[in-house]
Copies of this chain bind each other. A is one copy, B any other.
């Protein structure tokens, strides 16, 4: 049997990489599968901090599953094909561990699929370690904890599930870190955007969604100071216009999220700004507007855009 690649979504974040590395380990231990973790991009600043902190090498970056020698793959932290590896339709998806909605996903054969509406894919992988009575190594616990902290902004996002708090505490214990202290340090590591070009900044955590036939790109960056990001508005808008033109995105919505106060500034450019304004019941001024209390793309942005764009 050839190897099975396990990977999260494009533009990987700490949950995509943490859940993939941890699940690849679990699948070997619990099910005897020949799994290997991979990633669909290099770690971002936050994830680089995490991997360095727990002494875990970054997983191999792949552009094609087949070119990387795999006919079978397991997806973590995503299921929509447009967020997956380029040749996803040419390989067999034999498993999925995810916490997103299901869309644009299809298989020819029955598979293992484990989805829960919880704060992170890492939360689910941790639960599966427990169900299979596999001990969680310290570094793996660190990665899973980081995935959960990253996706829930330290359990503050409305995507946080009631079960996630206990998961975070257990994982912090196993990883040997203080939850609050480590969590804030990790999130702050992801907010250093100074070394990024505008094109890099809008690609750090960007996902495409098909809304009523339109390709809408929704990106998010974390910061401790929204104004600092807006200082670069001109070059960011330039980068957005370039990526919209190059990739055929009808619209680009950038969430600039204040991780300390749990708010976001929305910067948006494209053909349907009326729909973006209607989605959030605000007026864009100079292409941006404040969205109080919004930190979750999944719960506070995508459903609103989906409804506003119509079907």
Q: Which residues of A contact B (CB under 8 A)?
A: 99-117, 131, 298, 303, 306
What are the residues of chain B within 8 A of A105 when measuring CB–CB?
102, 105
Can you name the residue of chain B whose Cβ is closest to the Cβ of A99?
A: B110
* Contact present for A109 and B114 (CB under 8 Å): no
Contacts A102-B105, A102-B106; is A113 near B115 (CB within 8 Å)? Answer: yes
Classify the secondary structure of A's interface with B.
Answer: loop
Name A117's contact: one of B101, B112, B303, B306 (CB within 8 Å).
B112
What are the residues of chain B within 8 A of A107 when measuring CB–CB?
101-103
A38 CB to nearest chain B CB (Å)? 22
* Contact present for A115 and B112 (CB under 8 Å): yes
What are the residues of chain B within 8 A of A114 when measuring CB–CB?
113-115
* Contact present for A303 and B108 (CB under 8 Å): yes
A124 CB to nearest chain B CB (Å)? 10
A131 CB to nearest chain B CB (Å)? 6
- Give the complex CA separation of A108 and B303 in angstroms: 7
* Contact present for B110 and A115 (CB under 8 Å): yes
Can you name the residue of chain B whose Cβ is closest to the Cβ of A101?
A: B107
What are the residues of chain B within 8 A of A106 when measuring CB–CB?
101-104
A289 CB to nearest chain B CB (Å)? 24
What are the residues of chain B within 8 A of A102 when measuring CB–CB?
102, 105-107, 111, 113
* Contact present for B108 and A115 (CB under 8 Å): no
Can you name the residue of chain B whose Cβ is closest to the Cβ of A89?
A: B311
Q: Beyond A110-B116, A131-B131: 14 further Cβ-contacts under 8 Å? A: A99-B110, A100-B110, A101-B107, A102-B107, A102-B111, A104-B106, A105-B105, A108-B303, A108-B306, A109-B117, A109-B303, A110-B298, A113-B115, A114-B115
* Contact present for B101 and A108 (CB under 8 Å): yes
What are the 7 A-B residue pairs with the smallest beta carbon separation, nearest first? Answer: A110-B117, A113-B115, A103-B106, A101-B107, A102-B107, A101-B109, A101-B110
* Contact present for A115 and B109 (CB under 8 Å): no
Can you name the residue of chain B whose Cβ is closest to the Cβ of A103?
A: B106
What are the residues of chain B within 8 A of A113 when measuring CB–CB?
102, 113-115
What are the residues of chain B within 8 A of A104 when measuring CB–CB?
106
Name A111's contact: one of B108, B117, B298 (CB within 8 Å).
B117
- Give the complex CA separation of A298 and B115 in angstroms: 23
A133 CB to nearest chain B CB (Å)? 12
Can you name the residue of chain B whose Cβ is closest to the Cβ of A307?
A: B108
Can you name the residue of chain B whose Cβ is closest to the Cβ of A127?
A: B131
